[in-house]
Amino acid sequence: MKELKHVSVLLDECMQGLNVQPGGIYFDGTLGGGGHSSKILELSSPNGKLVATDLDDYAISRATERLSEYNGRFTLVKDNFKNFTSIKEQLNIDGFDGILLDLGVSSFQLDDKSRGFSYLASDELLDMRMDASNGFSARTIVNEYSERELKRILTDYGEERFASSIAKNIVTYRKQTPIERVGQLNQIIENSIPAKFKKDGHPSKRTFQALRIEVNGELTELYETIMNMALSLKKGGRIAIISFHSLEDRIVKRAFKELEIDCICDKSLPVCTCGKRKEIEILTKHPIVASEQELAVNGRSKSAKLRVAERV
């Protein structure tokens, strides 16, 4: 396979946010190209430890080689970061000094046209599986979901204003022939959106986002996972999360706010009876976004938002 490039988004900002220290124990739930993991291992030298997860075999293989200079200090696990609690227990780790999530799809998954993530890969099979061993792909959705289900995911996960039209046309098209390739779906979407609304980016962008989220269950249990991760931090430990669309960012923001709230009892009561305690301090009043310099070299950082919180 041709070597694929990956540029880590908000790398320095993440490291500053995590406040990586020598000897710390860190968790990178979205290994991807290994850029963030590599920097964490560098900054936590000489004896810091890292646990990283990913569902993509290529990512794990590539990162194993990239991180080889730190052998003995990292553990890579093929698993979903949402299984964080069980991974932590299996590795007998009491708590982490830092946890990082870089949500979304890796650059090399987009660039590898055979993976069917990109709407630019017109001749490739629709796929979008982060875990290639999973039998459920984007083809399953477009060929088997009902019109109502298609409209739901396009609306909820893609925030697509023409979800109804696209869903209807998908169902009509597949009655004649299965929808197998990216180009077929692009044409359906193209025919479903009025011309005057095609000026703001590629017309397939929102539909492909929705399909990818559904295929990989990206939003399922994300809120609960963030809560569990934050509570697994040592005192003073930090959690940093990069999101790439509003759906993810809202979940991160909501989880952080819930964790930062202290006692919710009526202030007239003499003692607290709710038991609610402030667990974190949010360090980013507004999300951190890419600098002009980063945008100039990595256009995919445009929609990235970083939020950071510290365990109290």
pLDDT of residue 118: 84
Q: What is the mean pLDDT of residues 260-285?
A: 85
**Would you state the pLDDT for residue 253?**
97
Q: What is the pLDDT of residue 1?
A: 45
Q: Looking at residue 88, what is its pLDDT?
A: 97
SS3 (DSSP) at 284 = coil
pLDDT digits (tens, 9 = 90+) for 183-204: 999 999 999 999 888 777 889 9
Tell me what pLDDT residue 50 has: 98
* pLDDT tens, residue by residue, 154-168: 999 999 999 999 999
Classify domain 109-216 by CATH number.
1.10.150.170
**What does the alpha-carbon distance between residue 158 and residue 113 come to, in Å, rounded to a whole number?**
21
Pairing of strands 305-311, 96-102: unpaired
Beta strand residue intervals within the chain, DSSP E: 25-28, 49-54, 74-78, 96-102, 233-243, 280-282, 305-311
Q: Where in the chain is the domain with CATH 1.10.150.170?
A: 109-216
Q: pLDDT (tens digit, 9 = 90+) per residue, 97-142?
A: 999 999 967 666 666 767 778 888 778 999 999 888 888 999 999 9
What SS3 class is residue 125?
strand
Q: How far apart are CA 211 and CA 204, in angstroms?
A: 11
Residue whose C-alpha is closest to residue 153's, from 66, 203, 218, 234: 218
Q: Which two tokens stand for residue 256?
A: 């952080």
Return d(Cα 114, Cα 98) in angstroms, integer.
Answer: 34
Q: What is the mean pLDDT of residues 240-259?
A: 96
User: Residue 273 phi/psi, 5° resolution?
Assistant: -120, -10
End-to-end CA distance of the chain: 46
| Phi–psi pair at 292, nearest 5 degrees | -60, -35
| pLDDT for 109 | 67
Where does residue 140 fall: left (phi above 0), alpha (psi -120 to 50 degrees), or beta otherwise? Answer: alpha
Q: What is the mean pLDDT of residues 250-274?
A: 87
Distance of CA 262 to the CA centre of its chain: 28
Helical axes 35-43 vs 11-18, angle rounded to 10°: 40
- The answer to whether residue 179 scores a pLDDT higher than 60 is yes
Q: Which of 149-153, 210-214, 267-271 is the least confident region?
A: 267-271
pLDDT value at 242 more than 70: yes
Closest CA to 192 of 160, 224, 236: 160
Question: Which part of the chain is CATH 3.40.50.150?
Answer: 11-104+219-311
Q: Calculate what percentage of the chain has a pLDDT beyond 70.
A: 96
Give pLDDT, residue 5. Answer: 58
Is the full-model pTM beyond 0.75?
yes
pLDDT per residue as tens digits for the range 12-58: 999 999 999 999 999 999 999 899 999 999 999 999 999 999 999 98
- Distance (Å, rounded) from C-alpha 117 to C-alpha 204? 11
Given a cut of 80, whether residue 270 has pLDDT beyond it is no
Instruction: Evaluate the CA torsion angle 11, 24, 41, 249 in order and state its sign.
Output: negative
Query: CA-to-CA distance for 147 and 166, rounded, in angstroms?
Result: 9
Computed over every residue of the chain, the mean pLDDT equals 92
Q: What is the CATH number of domain 11-104+219-311?
A: 3.40.50.150
